[in-house]
Structure 1
Amino acid sequence: MKLTLRTVGVFTLCLLLTACSLPRGAGIEQEITAGANDADADFAMYPVTRDFLPTLAEWPVVGEPELNWITASAGARTQIINPGDVVAITIWDSNDNSLLAAPGQRAVNLEEMRVAANGTIFMPYIGDTRISGLTPQAARARLQSELEAIVPSAQVQLAMAAGMHSSVDLVGGVNAPGTYPMPDQSYSVLSLISQGGGVSGALRNPQIRLMRHGQLYGTSIARLYSEPHLDTRLVGGDRVIVEEDRRYFLSLGAAGIQDQHAFPQDVVTALDAMSIIGGVSSSRADPEGILILREYPASALRTGQRGPRQERVVFTLDLTTSDGLFSARNFRIQSGDLVLATESPVSSVQTVFSLFGSAFGLVNAVTN
């Protein structure tokens, strides 16, 4: 059986049309960024280069709370009595005619005396005595001095149990959460976490949140380990929360992995992201067309040179040049970013040539 030249031409044309409509895992860069320079474009496009990075550094961070942290400060190595603390006082008196003790007794126990809001406690024969702001030793000496004027033979013993203003709460991803009394005024965040059994190993990039007087502060446990001056001392009533890093980014297209990825560390660069997603498909992806899509709030739009032109922004990375690679290493991924590996136009051409080869092979086989 013979195939005419016209039949072969029609068959080849069908193959071309079929190749043009083959399904793809992602668009080609030119398809996605088409219209970026139009006056009515609803997104802005920025190539990531060395010259662009300083401008980007002035733009706001999106997708995560901007939390400050409190640097460490020195504190006394002793406990300080605060309003709300509980003290137990024992008064010893060897006098047979003691004003305080009953006949035959040598001690009077005044247990669970809570320090009032004004910093005082009530003592028999003395009245209200301020002990707030003193160490337990200094408070004992003050009570002893005031009591000696009335009962010269009396001796005072004082023990302290921390109240809510001399204790801190540890919540979340530790082995032993709970309320912990402060042993002294140098009790720090890492000391508290250590006493709570340490951070759970199941947490990815554990984050530390410190709630103090209604204000929330935050950093990561890794940063506290690497920068000891940030291990701030605690204040009575503080609440320390240990939780997993909630930030994430997405990967789609001709990427090694198409998924949602948690941040494994404080800073994730574009090159880190490429490693996390398993790189890109060597047969499909366009290394000159790695796109990072991000949305900014309307409040971040450019005033002068401190923000993007549009809320929707497409950053383009070219991983075939040294400037593109170095710039990608200094480009920080933000929570919610989409990393899109576009399809290479070459892959479609290769598909067409493959179909051509198959077609002519089939023609030769039939002709023979």
Structure 2
Amino acid sequence: MSGCTSLPRSGPDDGAIKSQATLHYTADKKKPLTDYVLIDLTENALTYFPFTRKKGLRDSFGATRKGPPELPLGVGDIVAVSLFESSAGGLFIPSEAGSRAGNFITLPNQTIDRDGTISVPYAGQINAVGQTPAEVQEVIERRLADRAIEPQAVITLVEKKSSQVSVLGDVNQPAKLEMNQAGESVLDMISRAGGISGPATETEITLQRSNTTATVAFKDLVDKPKENIFVYPGDVVYVSRERRTYLAFGASGLNGRIDFEESDLTLAEGVGKAGGLLDARADPGEVYLYRLVDPAILASMGFPVTAKSGAGFPTIIRANMRDPSTFFLAQQFPMLDKDIIYVSNADSVEVTKVLDIVNSVSGGVSGPVVDVAAGRTAGRLLKN
């Protein structure tokens, strides 16, 4: 038997780990490690677990899809001022210039300073911030009316720097972008930033405006034009990839972490993505979904449970796939991020495992006595 210590092994066995532990906090085998609620998937239970939708951009920011915002002049904008007079000999056009088409001068480009003003000769400092070019023109003309010959002013916006929108996160070219005077939507700004860099079904768009923030799925932004609202100066568009996954264990065709790859995923689709139920192992009546559920939902179902603030209560949803009608319910039951699907083995599988062990021990010995002994051993082990 001493040779057994040299058998191949990937690490210490259970006995070595237990015997060499300095302290061992043991669990009470007669009690579950944590309390949980078990709910059978029925038509009534389904009503407590509907698909939920986040409040969209339109609901959060109002119907700003109706038209683009007005873009008044702001600090940092660069403007050109042209001054016209009806004839020569006035304030800006000397008399020796004679009569010529277009009696005007154009001042050097000016940047609206931090005080929000521009400077015009003989008109002084003109407040420009928050004004439209037409409003600034009117002020200049009024101040020059007594000094120039029928003055006319034209304000030309050379470069717009005060109406910027930041597009950040999972886009190909994050940047702070100048808004177009014609108005631009959320998708317009994302497009100018090179588009999203992740899968569309896993991408969420967050719009921040002043003290209001709202998030919408990229797919909803594309599929629902009303959600694609116009952006405003100072907005921040944040693009993020929200990878949603669930775990599959037990007698399913695929075990491990599985991506949703869809905006919405149902329990039936989740089981299907996990390879379905293994015909030789699975018990169709024992398909379970593990989830932390809002205690308020459980309380509305008649379960007086409590949980830590902000935490969900451990809940198991059992789906009996032996019942044909359960497939319709499973196709309506929404999966959530970090859910766990577990498919239990059929009882016959456990019997087969025990018989395989007994047969391996008995070796080549066969006969009625061995078969009876194997059956008794299997029954005893299953009871334990």
TM-score w.r.t. the length of structure 2 is: 0.69
Q: Is 2:111 aligned against 1:108?
A: no
Q: Match for residue 163 of structure 1? A: 161
Q: Which residues in structure 2 correspond to 1:9-88 (within 5 Å)?
A: 42-57=35-50, 68-71=56-59, 72-74=63-65, 76=67, 79-88=70-79
Change (3 A) 1:212 1:262: farther
Q: Report the aligned-residue RMSD.
A: 3.7
Partner Cα separation in structure 2 for residue 267 and residue 89 of structure 1: 53
Query: Which residue of 2 is the match for residue 346 of structure 1?
Result: 348
1:305 and 1:127 mapped to 2: Cα distance? 73
Deviates more, 1:106-115 or 1:43-52: 106-115
Within 2, Cα distance between the matches of 1:307 and 1:247? 29
Instruction: Deviation per CA, 1:272-317: give whole Å up to 9, x if none.
Output: 211222223222222211111112466x464554877461111111
Distance 1:216 1:227 in 2: 19
Gaps in structure 1 of 5+ consecutive residues? 1-33
Partner of 1:279: 276
Identity across matched positions, percent: 21
Cα deviation code 1:4-48 (max 9, x no counterpart): xxxxxxxxxxxxxxxxxxxxxxxxxxxxxx989xxx981111111
Residues 348 and 130 (structure 1 numbering): CA distance in 2 closer, same or farther, change over 3 Å?
same
Secondary structure at the counterpart of residue 235 of structure 1 = coil
1:363 maps onto 2:366 in alignment: yes
Aligned pairs for 1:246-285 within 5 A = 246-285=243-282
Seen in structure 2, the aligned counterparts of structure 1 residues 267 and 308 have a Cα distance that, compared at 3 Å, is: farther
Check 1:141–1:99 CA distance in 2 against 1; reply closer, same or farther (3 A cut).
closer
Give ranges in structure 2 of 5+ residues lacking alignment: 1-29, 98-103, 307-312, 368-384
| Mapped partners of 2:78, 2:160: distance in 1 | 8
Please state if 1:245 is matched with 2:242.
yes
Q: What is the rounded CA distance, in whole Å, between the counterparts of 1:89 and 1:53 in structure 2?
A: 65
Asked which structure has the greater RCO (Cα within 8 Å, sep 6+), the reply is 1
Amino acid at match of 1:287: P
Instruction: Give the partner amino acid of 2:78.
Output: V
- What is the CA deviation profile of residues 154-213 of structure 1, one whole-angstrom value per residue up to 9, with x for unaligned ones? 54332333334x111111222222111111364111111222232225565211111121
What is the TM-score when the length of structure 1 is the normalising length? 0.72
Aligned length: 318
The answer to whether the Cα contact below 8 Å between 2:141 and 2:152 also exists between their aligned partners in 1 is no
Separation in structure 2 between the aligned mates of residue 141 and residue 226 of structure 1, nearest angstrom: 43
Secondary structure, aligned partner of 1:222: helix
Residue by residue, what CA displacement relative to the aligned partner does 1:225-250 show, whole Å, maximum 9, x if unpaired? Answer: 11111111111111111121233222
- AA in 2 matched with 1:363: S
- What do the CA deviations read for 1:91-119 (whole angstroms, capped 9, x no partner)? 34575663699x999432241124746xx
Q: What pairs up with 1:81-160 in 2 under 5 angstroms? A: 81-92=72-83, 95=88, 98=91, 106-114=105-113, 116=115, 121-136=118-133, 138-139=134-135, 141-143=137-139, 145-149=141-145, 150-152=147-149, 154-160=151-157
Deviates most, 248-257 or 227-236? 248-257
CA displacement at 1:131 relative to structure 2: 4.3
Q: CA deviation at 1:326?
A: 1.0
Q: For 2:141, give the aligned amino acid.
A: S
